[in-house]
Structure 1
Amino acid sequence: MPSTYAPTRLSVAPMMDWTDRHYRFMMRHITKKTLLYTEMVVDKTLLHQQQNFDYFLGHDDIEHPLALQIGGSDVETLGTVAKLASNYANFHEINLNVGCPSPRVSSGCFGARLMLNPELVRDICYEMIRQVSSTPITVKCRIGVDENDSYEYFHNFVQTVASSGVKDFTVHARKCWLDGLKLSPHENRTIPKLNYSFAGRIKQDFPDLNIMLNGGVSSIEHAHQLLQDPDLNIDGVMIGRAAYNYPWNFRDADRLLFDSPNPGLSRREIVAIYLDYAEEMQEKWGKKKREKGTYAMPTSTLMKPILNLFNGEYGCKAMKRHVANRWSRDESYQLEIRDLVQTAIDECIPSSVLDKTVNDDKA
Structure 2
Amino acid sequence: MMDWTDRHCRAFHRVLSRRALLYTEMVTAAALIRGGAHHLLDFDAGEHPVALQLGGSDPAELAAATSLAVERGYAEVNLNVGCPSDRVQSGSFGAILMETPELVARCLRAMADAAGDVPVTMKCRLGVDDQVPEDVLPDLLARMVDAGVGRVTVHARKAWLQGLSPKENREIPPLDHDLVHAMKARFPALHLSINGGIADLDAALAHLDHVDGVMIGRAAYHDPGRLLLQADSRVFGVADPMPDRTAAALAMVPHIEAHLASGGKLGQVTRHMLGLFAGLPGARGWRRMLSDGAARPGARVDVLHAALDQVTDVAA
Query: Does TM, scored on the shorter chain, surpass 0.5?
Result: yes
Structure 1 gaps, min length 5: 1-14, 288-297, 359-363
C-alpha displacement of 1:184: 0.5
Which of 262, 281, 294 lines up with 2:240 in the alignment?
Answer: 262
Q: Could you say which residue in structure 2 is the equivalent of 1:215?
A: 196
Deviation of the 1:266 alpha carbon = 2.7
Deviations along 1:270-305, one digit per CA (max 9) or x if unpaired, are 222212211202322x23xxxxxxxxxx33221212
Say whether 1:38 aligns with 2:24.
yes
Partner of 1:349 in structure 2? 311
Structure 2 counterpart of 1:160, from 140, 143, 146: 143
Give the structure 2 partner of residue 292 of structure 1.
none
- 1:59 partner SS: coil
Tell me, in whole angstroms, the C-alpha distance in 1 between the residues paired with 2:115 and 2:167. Answer: 34
Q: CA-to-partner distance for each residue in 1:108-139, whole Å, 9 max, x for gaps?
A: 11000001000000000111111120211100
> SS of 2:140's equivalent?
helix
Distance 2:61 2:298 in 1: 41
2:220 corresponds to: 243
- Give the Å deviation of 1:57: 2.1
Q: 1:326 Cα deviation (Å)?
A: 4.2
**Code of the aligned partner of 2:242:** G
Question: In percent, how many aligned pairs have the same letter?
Answer: 38
Contact 2:266 2:301 in 1 (8 A): no
Give 1:81's match in structure 2, choosing from 65, 79, 95: 65
Describe the shift of the 1:283–1:325 C-alpha distance in structure 2 as closer, same or farther (beyond 3 A).
closer
Q: Deviations over 1:5-63 (max 9, x none)?
A: xxxxxxxxxx111111111111112111111111111112222465x63x422222221
Q: 2:278 aligns with which of 301, 306, 311?
A: 311
Question: What does residue 136 of structure 1 align with?
Answer: 119
Aligned partner of 1:184 in structure 2 is 165
Distance 2:102 2:244 in 1: 49
Letter in 2 for 1:101: P
SS for the counterpart of 1:19 is: coil
Q: Is the 8 A contact 2:144 2:150 kept in 1?
A: no
Distance 1:265 1:337, change over 3 A: farther
**Which of the numbers 189, 214, 234 marks the counterpart of 2:211?**
234
- Residues 325 and 26 of structure 1: is their aligned pair in 2 closer, same or farther, counting only changes over 3 Å? closer
> Which residue is 1:336 aligned to?
299
CA distance in 2, matches of 1:116, 1:333: 48
CA distance in 1, matches of 2:192, 2:129: 23
Contact kept in structure 1, 2:52 and 2:78, CA below 8 Å: yes
Supply the AA of the counterpart residue of 1:281.
Answer: H
**Is residue 101–residue 143 contact of structure 2 (8 Å, CA) maintained in 1?**
yes
Is 1:300–1:333's contact at 8 Å kept on the other side of the alignment?
A: no
- Secondary structure of the equivalent of 1:201? helix
Task: Please report the TM-score for the alignment, with normalisation by the length of structure 1.
Answer: 0.83
Please state how far the C-alpha of 1:150 moved relative to its aligned partner.
3.2
Taking the aligned partners of 1:76 and 1:85, their CA distance within structure 2 comes to 14
Change (3 A) 1:46 1:337: farther
Give the Å deviation of 1:263. 1.1
Worse-matched range after superposition: 206-215 or 259-268: 259-268
Give the match for residue 257 of structure 2: 279
Equivalent pairs counted in the alignment come to 315
CA distance in 2 between partners of 1:132 and 1:119 (Å) = 20
SS in 1 for 2:161: coil
Amino acid at match of 2:57: S
Which whole-Å CA distance do the structure 1 matches of 2:31 and 2:133 have between them? 34
Which residue does 1:23 correspond to in 2? Answer: 9
